[in-house]
Amino acid sequence: MAVSTSNAPKARRRGTDAPYADQYQDWLRMMLLIRRFEERAGEAYSIGQIGGFCHLYIGQEAVAVGLISALRSDDYVISAYREHGQALARGMTSRSIMAELYGKATGCSGGKGGSMHLFDLEKGFMGGHGIVGGQIPLGAGFAWAAKYRKTEQVSLTFFGEAAANIGAFHEALNIAGLWKLPAIFVIENNGYGMGTAVKRSAAITDLHLRAASYGMPGVEVDGQDIVAVREAAETAYARARAGEGPTLLDIRTFRYVGHSMSDAASGTYRSKEELDASRQRDPIALLEARMRDAGLLDDAGLAELEASVAAEVADAATFAEESPEPDASALFTDVLAPHGEDT
């Protein structure tokens, strides 16, 4: 649902003067879906149905939904290993994602990717990637391809604030700024790279200031307020499509859970008080409040949305559980292009 095929009409103003009011319902459903999906994934991980690493997105839902809801269907999205939320927001099905987490043949990557490597070429979802910051030059590459082909597509690259400290960030942003690529670089700044706080890893903690080095705007955004995220997205996309080049968004958000399923939500590198305080600005609660104020949501409406989301997640889990394992022969396929494949 969240994939808009047009350049985001600002407001059809149905029952309220608020911009985007006609999209609130879709946004809320998607944010709820991401949260309930992730809660279910966490449960499935804890009983061994999901293996490997599993990095949950709970608390950051407004970032993915706010940014991706304003994209065209032919734009590119690429992310790191905390990407279930972005994949859902991009319109990949709960079934295909959950089945991938289970490693099943019906998963979006045929069970060969797993939690960190969700792909859907048709949706322009170019993957979750497991090396911190390694996807940033790839995002610039999609933007380069769009410029090469003159398509006015944009490329949206998600990464955490810790990735802003690696060389790939600098190299990709410098080239993107130099060549005015239609790239949007999104720092999902949840304050912690695994267990290391920003102030312990970055010489300048206001990361949006780094954009000045690359000849592009750097914008700090309240990542808990989906309207703020959406507005920042539209400004950046319009600039990119007009050939004016990239934007760096430093989106301040918070993850409620640990870095991965092996990491407690609080206790070691951050306090329970800090976590509790962050929950006071829950992105879903904020949108709900906005909708209630505008008369667009009541208890019955919310219950209906919750039920719909719960049913979708339950269906996805059942689908994943009942899906077949990949055939043993799949071990050796997809290493190289099939012999004789054209182009």
Partner 1 sequence: MAVLTYRDALNEALREEMQRDGDVYLMGEEVAEYNGAYKVSRGLLEEFGPMRVVDTPIAELGFAGIGVGSAMTGLRPVIEMMTWNFALLAIDQIVNVAAKIRYMSGGQIGCPIVFRGPGGAALQLGAQHSQAFESWYAHIPGLKVVMPATPADAKGLLKSAIRDNDPVVFIEGEMLYNLKGDVPEGEHLVPIGVADVKRAGQDVTIVCHSKTVAPALNAAKALSEEGIDAEVLDLRTIRPLDEEAILRSVAKTHRVVVAEEGWYFAGVGAQIVDLVQREAFDDLDAPVLRVHQADVPMPYNKYLEKAAKADATKIAAAVRRVCYKD
Q: What is the smallest separation between the CB atom of 109 and partner 1, expressed in angstroms?
A: 4
Number of Cβ within 10 Å of residue 259's Cβ equals 23
Which member of 59, 91, 137, 246 binds partner 1 (CB under 8 A)?
A: 137
Q: What is the smallest separation between the CB atom of 326 and partner 1, expressed in angstroms?
A: 9
Size, binding site for partner 1 by CB under 8 A: 47
Rounded-to-integer distance, Cα 339 and Cα 148, Å: 28
Element (H, E) at 37: helix 21-46
Q: What is the smallest separation between the CB atom of 237 and partner 1, expressed in angstroms?
A: 18
Q: In the beta sheet, which residues pair with residue 261?
A: none
- Residue 8 within binding range of partner 1, rule CB under 8 A: no
Which of 80-88, 130-138, 186-194, 285-293 is the region at the interface with partner 1 (rule: CB under 8 A)?
130-138
Which member of 142, 185, 237, 256 binds partner 1 (CB under 8 A)?
A: 142
Residues 56-85 as x/- pattern, contact with partner 1 by CB under 8 A = --------------------x-x-------
Which of 7-15, 109-117, 196-204, 276-284 is the region at the interface with partner 1 (rule: CB under 8 A)?
109-117
Residue 123 or 252 having the CB closest to partner 1: 123
Which member of 141, 245, 258, 283 binds partner 1 (CB under 8 A)?
A: 141
Rounded-to-integer distance, Cα 256 and Cα 221, Å: 19
- Residue 311 within binding range of partner 1, rule CB under 8 A: no
The identity of residue 91, as a single letter, is: G
Burial of 127-139, coded b for 16+ CB within 10 Å and e otherwise, reads: bbbbebbebbbbb
- Residue 110 within binding range of partner 1, rule CB under 8 A: yes
Residue 168 or 207 having the CB closest to partner 1: 168
Residue 167 or 243 having the CB closest to partner 1: 167
- Going from the C-alpha of 174 to that of each of 13, 44, 60, 94, 177, the distances in angstroms are 40, 41, 27, 36, 5
DSSP string for 120-171: BGGGTEEEE--STTTHHHHHHHHHHHHHHHT----EEEEEEGGGGGSHHHHH
- Going from the C-alpha of 289 to that of each of 28, 58, 222, 292, the distances in angstroms are 11, 19, 16, 5
Rounded-to-integer distance, Cα 313 and Cα 334, Å: 29
Residue 240 or 296 having the CB closest to partner 1: 240
Q: What is the smallest separation between the CB atom of 296 and partner 1, expressed in angstroms?
A: 38
- Residue 329 within binding range of partner 1, rule CB under 8 A: no
Interface of this chain with partner 1, residues 145 to 174, rule: CB under 8 A: 145, 147-149, 155, 167-168, 170-172, 174
Q: Please, are residues 106 and 44 in contact by the beta-carbon 8 Å criterion?
A: no
- Residue 300 within binding range of partner 1, rule CB under 8 A: no
Residue 66 or 103 having the CB closest to partner 1: 103
What are the structure tokens assigned to 312, written together? Answer: 């979708």
Angle between helices 167-179 and 135-149 (to 10 degrees): 20
- Applying CB under 8 A, the residues found at the interface with partner 1 are 76, 78, 107-113, 117, 119-121, 126-127, 129-131, 134, 136-142, 144-145, 147-149, 155, 167-168, 170-172, 174-175, 178, 333-337, 341, 343
